[in-house]
Amino acid sequence: MTEPLSFELSRPAVDPPRLPDANVAGPSPADVLPRGALRAKPPGLPRLSEPEIMRHYSRMASLNYSISENFYPLGSCTMKYNPVVNEAAAALPGFAELHPYQDEETVQGALELMWRLEQALCAIVGVDRVTLQPAAGAHGEWTALRMIRAYQHSRGEARTEVLVPDSAHGTNPASAALSGFQVVEVKSGGDGRISLADLESKLSPRTSALMLTNPNTLGLFEREILDIAELVHSTGAMLYYDGANLNAFMGICRPGDMGFDAVHMNLHKTFTTPHGGGGPGAGPVGVKSELVPFLPAPTVERTNGRLTLDHKRPQSIGRVRSFYGNFGMLVRAYTYILAMGGDGLSQASRDAVLSANYLRKLLDGHLEMPHDGPCMHEFVASAHNLTVQDGVRALDVAKALLDREFYAPTVYFPLVVPEAIMVEPTETESKATLDAFAQAVREIVAQAKTDPQGLHQEPKRTPVGRLDEVAAARRINAYLQGQSEDPVLRWKAAAESPS
């Protein structure tokens, strides 16, 4: 089942929607502006009636898997249920209709919410201040590294390297490079945890920071975290926490107490703001006191109950996003924290760890478990045996799960595990769902023995079958090299644009 593009459904006979007229005598653009400034031809937007538009997008919606309908065991992504009360809160006119340049006296409630959210996040991760400005996790990583660099510059230190474990998220090295650092990789040891010996050999006076997530991307807690922190700090470098895995230990322990100096958080993972099919998210960054002067401006300050935006921060790294960040997502996350409370958040993390260990146990023996448990909130299995014995790859398992109405786990990440299948069930799934998922995986593994060919052809029940990305890439290359006029990356009218 597929849906035509709006451009293909467009009909020139459709009248534009009824919109206000000017209702006042005044010039139109053509009266005033020089001809050269004007658009010669209307833009090629489609022309559809409202009923056609609603059907078009409703049919497209039905082509998606989503948390509202499907289990997303997507490792590292914390796809938990998005409480609908969050949406109701963000839609309140007192938030949704606020202009960012209103005078401070008229936005005290919004600033108070930001202040309280900052306090709550400080308490959860164990830091002194938090900036809410970054729009996403990667944006937060980059913001944190800029602060670390500014801090070290202010001390006359020219540190040029950032250490990143080989199991790290791809955004880590990319953020480090964009912050002006050289990236140095640190190896994992046989137990899947960072190798202290390798870390020690890579640390030098050039080291600015170590970027780490804990539990790591294998779902394993870095037991030697306190030694790691001491080692890093002894060289004068800083420790950065990638908050992708924060859902593992809210109320159980805190990155600030482990020795992390800067911590980013993903409100769209841990704090249930919806993923929206790929954003908007929010990636606040918490810091210890020595980094506070370098926070992006403005910060929210509270004196005698009055809230202000502090733009005068001479050592600030500047502004990383317009206005105050993705405020609507901040409202959702704050609503979630209020509803859950300290007790609820602690329970959520415990349940997430329980679910992951339970599911790991159900799958153990069917898929390889390259590292010993217990795991934290997620685990990494491997389809390597299936690949060697039956020619069935992690991707085949993923696609076969789609046919059983489960979204697929994260595959081929982390890179240190061959044919990795990374599973994060989260606390919001029931035991029945976990059992059903495990059953589906077991069936797929059994099918690998009897009918590997069939697995290569899945999914068959999704709106489209496996899409040929190699052929697509070839067509894009031909277009980019000027050998073809088919842009592939957009629709284009066959002859004339639809206007």
Q: Among residue numbers 127 through 166, which ones bind other proteins (CB under 8 A)? A: 135-139, 141-142, 145-146, 149
Judged by CB under 8 A, the residue of 14, 196, 309, 369 near other proteins is 14
By CB under 8 A, is residue 413 in contact with other proteins?
yes
Residues shown for the chain: 499
Lookup: tokens for 163: 């250490």
Binding part of the chain for other proteins, among 24-32, 198-206, 287-295, 379-387 by CB under 8 A, reads: 24-32
How near is the Cβ of 390 to other proteins at its closest, in Å?
A: 21
Angle 388-394-400 from CA coordinates, rounded to 5°: 115
Closer by beta carbon to other proteins, 43 or else 314: 43
In angstroms, the CA 499 to CA 493 distance is: 10
- Stretch 88-107: interaction string toward other proteins, x if CB under 8 A: xxx-xxxxxxxxxxxx--xx
By CB under 8 A, is residue 418 in contact with other proteins?
no
Closer by beta carbon to other proteins, 182 or else 389: 182
Lookup: tokens for 228: 């790691």
Using CB under 8 A, count the residues that bind other proteins.
196
- Stretch 196-215: interaction string toward other proteins, x if CB under 8 A: --------------------
Binding part of the chain for other proteins, among 177-185, 199-207, 233-241, 441-449 by CB under 8 A, reads: 177-185
In angstroms, the CA 143 to CA 294 distance is: 10
Q: Could you tell me if 274 and 243 are in contact, meaning their C-beta atoms sit under 8 angstroms apart?
A: no
What Å distances lie between residue 222 and 176, 189, 217, 234, 266, CA to CA? 22, 11, 10, 19, 20
By CB under 8 A, is residue 478 in contact with other proteins?
no
Backbone φ and ψ for 485, nearest 5 degrees, come out as -105, 10
Which residues ranging from 328 to 347 are in contact with other proteins (CB under 8 A)? 328-329, 331, 334-335, 337-346
By CB under 8 A, is residue 482 in contact with other proteins?
yes
Bond into 293 cis (ω within 30): no
Closer by beta carbon to other proteins, 387 or else 413: 413
Lookup: tokens for 287: 């810091």
How near is the Cβ of 240 to other proteins at its closest, in Å?
A: 14
Binding part of the chain for other proteins, among 199-207, 235-243, 273-281, 420-428 by CB under 8 A, reads: 273-281
What Å distances lie between residue 470 and 39, 463, 474, 476, 484, CA to CA? 38, 20, 6, 10, 17
By CB under 8 A, is residue 29 in contact with other proteins?
yes
By CB under 8 A, is residue 430 in contact with other proteins?
no
3-class state of residue 211 by DSSP: strand
- DSSP 8-state code for residue 406: -
By CB under 8 A, is residue 325 in contact with other proteins?
yes
